[in-house]
Amino acid sequence: MPRIHFHQQLDELRARLLAMAALAQQNLECVLDAYRTSNLGLCEHVMDNEQAINRSEREVDELAYDLLAMEQPMAIDLRFILAVIKINGDLERIGDQCVNIADRVRLLHGESRVELPIDIERMGEISGNMIRGAIQSLMEADAFLAASILGMDDQVDDMNRDAYTSLMSLMMNDPEAAPHALNALIICRNLERIADHATNIAEDVIFWVRGADIRHGVTVVLD
Amino acid sequence: MPRIHFHQQLDELRARLLAMAALAQQNLECVLDAYRTSNLGLCEHVMDNEQAINRSEREVDELAYDLLAMEQPMAIDLRFILAVIKINGDLERIGDQCVNIADRVRLLHGESRVELPIDIERMGEISGNMIRGAIQSLMEADAFLAASILGMDDQVDDMNRDAYTSLMSLMMNDPEAAPHALNALIICRNLERIADHATNIAEDVIFWVRGADIRHGVTVVLD
């Protein structure tokens, strides 16, 4: 009986984390829309979602702590709970980064927009795909899918570096464009960080599914 | 007997985390010196230390996992191990941020320096004090000291915001200063993030010692 209860609680933990992941993913889509359409209402929505994400973070951490304290989870269950604790932190940080982007969208609202030599939408799309893939790998316990996320990070890093170079040139040639360019540059850095968090989540899924024992050179047969 | 062994392992975990914390703290001091003196040799040192920090992160995580898997830590011991896992992640991120700053120092090396309307040294000093205080609170299990760190974050946030405004004005008025100003702006953002990680560490110390989750300005007492 207690084991049944334990597995129900593990399911509950998983469900809560996935709900939080959905919020974080929605927030990224929302703030990218807000940037594209300069919609301050969407920025408000991002702020509200952030509050919900913060509440979720506490609840998920509490539930994970209770499970560790009350039960004696072993092997894959223990790894799952530890992965949840880390993923929880990454999702909360993604929420923060979306708020940072929303702040920039609000600042941009008052400024005249200039044509920028960067593709924020594409960068946002890749980061969004990374989060989506990382969460799917979590839902399906799919370490192969998780591993495929890892390489995508380089693309976002490259785009961020290119954005830096081209926005700096723009600022030197057209100082009036500085406010817009600088806000865009910070948005790019936040997207790059979001991609990093997606990478972290994918790594935690691999840790959970394939096992920490891989680090000790032992093959673990999973059930 | 097993309990004696368990406590020895907890001490070992604590010692490793503190050694890693010392490396992270040293890296911040080192990179601030590198910025002040434009010393590329110090940047190399920061890169080497970063490798050591990454190795430590893996080792600390493994030891924490083994302790959770082999023993059934309860209450304060369980909270300690969970705090260690989180602090471990924050220290690793501080290492990353120091590397980001070192990258900027290297880029600045080729550029002509201009007088900047910001005080990076002071910002670095406060962030350094925050890390030092957070680590001391960890060494001494001192939740009061940890709580005193939390408020210091606002000061660094304010300095970062002011830096943004004044560096943007500078770039608009003196486009030639853009490369230096932009690198300085990114250094400020990294210092602001380091202060955030020090805050996280202090929160984790409070969680460990008092059994309370105080993130996001809400107090939740666990047991």
Distance, in Å, from the CA atom of B168 to the CA atom of A91, rounded to the nearest integer, reads 31
- Judge: B82–A85 Cβ closer than 8 Å, yes or no: yes
- Judge: B215–A54 Cβ closer than 8 Å, yes or no: yes
Chain B residue numbers with beta carbons less than 8 Å from the beta carbon of A168 are 178-179, 182
CA distance A22 to chain B (A): 20
CA distance A163 to chain B (A): 13
Domains of chain B, with CATH numbers? 2-221 (1.20.58.220)
Q: For residue B27, what are its two tokens? A: 């890296």
pLDDT value of residue B74? 82
Digit-by-digit pLDDT tens for chain A (223 residues) are 567 788 999 999 999 999 999 999 999 999 999 999 999 999 999 999 999 999 999 999 999 999 999 888 888 899 999 999 999 999 999 999 999 999 999 988 877 778 888 999 999 999 999 999 999 999 999 999 999 999 899 999 999 999 999 999 999 999 999 989 999 999 999 999 999 999 999 999 999 998 843 333 333 333 3
- Judge: B179–A173 Cβ closer than 8 Å, yes or no: no
Q: How far are the Cα atoms of A8, A63, A71, A214 from residue A2, in angstroms, in the given order?
A: 10, 16, 9, 30
* A35: CB partners within 8 A, 6+ apart: A101, A104, A105, A108, A120, A124, A187
The predicted complex's ipTM stands at: 0.87
pLDDT value of residue B221? 60
3-state secondary structure at position B126? helix
pLDDT value of residue B75? 85
DSSP track, B142-199: -HHHHHHHHTHHHHHHHHHHHHHHHHHHHHHH-GGGHHHHHHHHHHHHHHHHHHHHHH
pLDDT value of residue A2? 60
Distance, in Å, from the CA atom of B218 to the CA atom of A27, rounded to the nearest integer, reads 22
Interface with B, mutate which of A167, A171, A200, A210 (most B CBs under 10 A): A171
Parallel, antiparallel, or unpaired for β B212-213 and B220-221?
A: antiparallel
Strand partners, B221: B212
The pLDDT tens digits for B189-206 are 999 999 999 999 999 999
pLDDT value of residue B109? 85
pTM score: 0.90
| Residue of chain A nearest B79, judged by CA positions | A65
Distance, in Å, from the CA atom of B185 to the CA atom of B117, rounded to the nearest integer, reads 11
Q: How far are the Cα atoms of A158, B30, B121, B158, B160 from residue B195, in angstroms, in the given order?
A: 27, 16, 14, 12, 11
Which stretches in chain B have pLDDT values below 50? 223
| CA angle centred on B157, ends B156 and B159, rounded to 5° | 65
Distance, in Å, from the CA atom of A207 to the CA atom of A189, rounded to the nearest integer, reads 27
CA distance A216 to chain B (A): 10
Tell me which residue of B193, B202, B86 sits closest to A61, measured CA to CA: B86
Q: For residue B145, what are its two tokens? A: 């000291």
> With b meaning 16 or more CB within 10 Å and e meaning fewer, what string describes A26-41?
ebbbbbbbbbeeebee
The pLDDT tens digits for B141-151 are 999 999 999 98
How many CB pairs (< 8 A) connect A and B?
77
Chain B residue numbers with beta carbons less than 8 Å from the beta carbon of A69 are 74-75, 78, 223
Q: Between B58, B65, B178, which is nearest A171 by CB?
A: B178
